[in-house]
């Protein structure tokens, strides 16, 4: 670490023409002759809908991790991947006379470990439980500009009913501030960018868009401050700063291109500005926004919905023109399980690209991935039968060296998924004794 006689504030931002650009952790932010501060830890949860093609997901043996077909895209970060088999989310199962609603319950219970209640009789409100990400957000929120960031690649309403009496909110979000308050997930990368880097002096969207649609980049407006900052930081910091600002500029450029293409080809009503036409491009820019939010320490908690339950998105780009939900009802036929596995692998490839970037992003003495824990998984295993047991779950990252990857753990039957959430929160330094239907932590997660 480069030790200087002066130090910058960890909250240093560059300001100019209505823009505020946060900075990553630089060596120059460490006071002279003092030990480096404890590294910030990041928490993430990435959810895939409609279950998993389990024969293509499950590693062959417990012990050292052998990557299955769906998991192979994670090869570059294999040593930081922990696959846990056998974990259940029984709160997603129906109670007596409750009827259908498996998809809604599965998604709602994924991070809460709680049973979602449908609107019936006198009940008109949503009710499930606080999600583990929001427990972390309460803890870290006082240290970052945003307590949490909620991203989705598929929109759904927070109001109304969507599945057999279950409110649409149950399949519109992963994040619940409390048992009755779902948090909306942002689907527009332009809106996410503005939330992270927009004008601090105004919340009017019209004013922000007028500024963004000009040919001038946000970063051009802070050129003078950048010049001054580069004079007082070391060579290592200049390299970090240049790499970070290049990433911000690249995201802005892609959003501007997408927005201009959308304005040319379709009415704004038909295609909201900023959402790419290609799914993989859409996922890429949203994951990059999540990466930059972590890197700049704008937030330490993110949830990411690749698709909502009962998603009918087709994937013609990988040879699957049918709706995802229809493909997920595979009837245990080998040919249909293989087709579902292609969708599952496609999702994993997009996620793997993101975590590879995290591994390549310096963060203090390590990388972003070293100091993060990302839960990846689905609320069902066998999607044909809507089974919320033996879930496909992977924990990616090292949590500051507290989690040992490169393994496949076969957990005891019936172990609540909420036990993993409790364990992850503990590794993040978030004090909590109970979450949903948890009954203890998983000591094996950090076993050497």
Radius of gyration from C-alpha coordinates of the chain:
22
21-27-28-30 Cα dihedral, nearest 10 degrees? 110
Residue 48: alpha-carbon gap to chain centroid: 11
Strand 320-323 and strand 81-88: the pairing is unpaired
Pairwise CA distance, residues 236 & 233, whole Å: 8
Series of mean pLDDT values for 10-residue runs along the chain (448 residues): 52 59 66 61 97 97 97 98 97 87 96 88 75 96 89 79 82 93 92 72 44 55 70 72 68 61 36 72 93 89 97 96 96 96 98 97 92 97 95 96 95 95 95 94 80
Q: What pLDDT score was predicted for residue 208?
A: 44
Q: Which residues contact 227 (CB under 8 A, 6 or more apart)?
A: none
* 8 Å CB contact between 311 and 49: yes
In tens, the pLDDT along 191-209 reads 888 888 764 333 344 544 4
| Dihedral sign computed on CA atoms, order 73, 78, 81, 82 | positive
The candidate with the shortest Cα–Cα distance to 113, out of 96, 134, 137, 97, is 134
The candidate with the shortest Cα–Cα distance to 395, out of 147, 84, 30, is 84
Q: What pLDDT score was predicted for residue 201?
A: 35
The candidate with the shortest Cα–Cα distance to 89, out of 426, 375, 405, 427, is 375
Q: What pLDDT score was predicted for residue 154?
A: 93
Alpha carbon of 51 to those of 225, 306, 356: distances in Å? 49, 12, 24
Pairwise CA distance, residues 190 & 186, whole Å: 10
122-125-130-134 Cα dihedral, nearest 10 degrees? -170
* 8 Å CB contact between 25 and 10: yes
The distance in angstroms from the start CA to the end CA of the chain is 29
């Amino acid at each position: 670490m480069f030790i200087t006689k002066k130090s910058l504030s960890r909250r240093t931002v560059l300001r100019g023409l209505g823009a505020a650009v946060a900075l990553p952790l630089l060596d120059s932010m460490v006071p002279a002759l003092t030990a480096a501060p404890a590294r910030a830890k990041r928490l993430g949860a990435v959810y895939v809908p409609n279950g998993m093609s389990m024969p293509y997901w499950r590693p062959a043996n417990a012990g050292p991790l052998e990557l299955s077909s769906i998991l192979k895209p994670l090869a570059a970060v294999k040593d930081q991947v922990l696959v846990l088999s056998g974990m259940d989310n029984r709160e997603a199962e129906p109670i007596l006379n409750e009827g259908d609603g498996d998809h809604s319950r599965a998604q709602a219970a994924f991070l809460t470990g709680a049973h979602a209640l449908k609107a019936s009789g006198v009940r008109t409100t949503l009710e499930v439980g606080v999600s583990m990400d929001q427990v972390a957000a309460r803890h870290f929120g006082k240290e970052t500009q945003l307590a949490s960031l909620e991203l989705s690649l598929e929109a759904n309403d927070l109001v109304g009913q969507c599945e057999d009496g279950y409110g649409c909110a149950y399949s519109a979000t992963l994040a619940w501030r409390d048992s009755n308050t779902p948090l909306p997930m942002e689907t527009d990368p332009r809106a996410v960018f503005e939330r992270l880097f927009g004008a601090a002096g105004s919340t009017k969207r019209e004013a922000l868009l007028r500024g963004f649609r000009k040919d001038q980049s946000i970063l051009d407006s802070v050129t003078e401050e950048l010049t001054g900052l580069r004079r007082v930081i070391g060579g290592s910091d200049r390299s970090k700063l240049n790499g970070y600002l290049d990433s911000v500029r690249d995201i802005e450029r892609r959003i501007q291109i997408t927005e201009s293409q959308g304005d040319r080809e379709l009415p704004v009503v038909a295609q909201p500005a900023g959402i790419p036409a290609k799914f993989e491009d859409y996922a890429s820019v949203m994951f990059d926004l999540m990466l930059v939010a972590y890197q700049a320490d704008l937030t330490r908690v993110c949830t990411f919905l690749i698709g909502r339950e009962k998603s009918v998105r087709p994937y013609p780009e990988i040879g699957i023109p049918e709706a995802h939900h229809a493909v997920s009802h595979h009837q245990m036929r080998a040919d249909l399980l293989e087709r579902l596995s292609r969708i599952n692998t496609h999702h994993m490839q997009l996620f793997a690209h993101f975590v590879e970037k995290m591994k390549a992003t310096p963060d203090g003495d390590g990388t972003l991935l070293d100091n993060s824990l990302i839960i990846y998984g689905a609320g069902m295993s066998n999607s044909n039968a809507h089974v919320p047991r033996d879930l496909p779950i992977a924990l990616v990252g090292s949590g500051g060296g507290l989690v040992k990857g490169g393994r496949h753990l076969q957990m005891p039957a019936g172990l609540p998924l909420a036990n993993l959430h409790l364990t992850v929160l503990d590794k993040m330094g978030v004090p909590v004794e109970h979450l949903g239907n948890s009954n203890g932590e998983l000591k094996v997660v950090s076993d050497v």
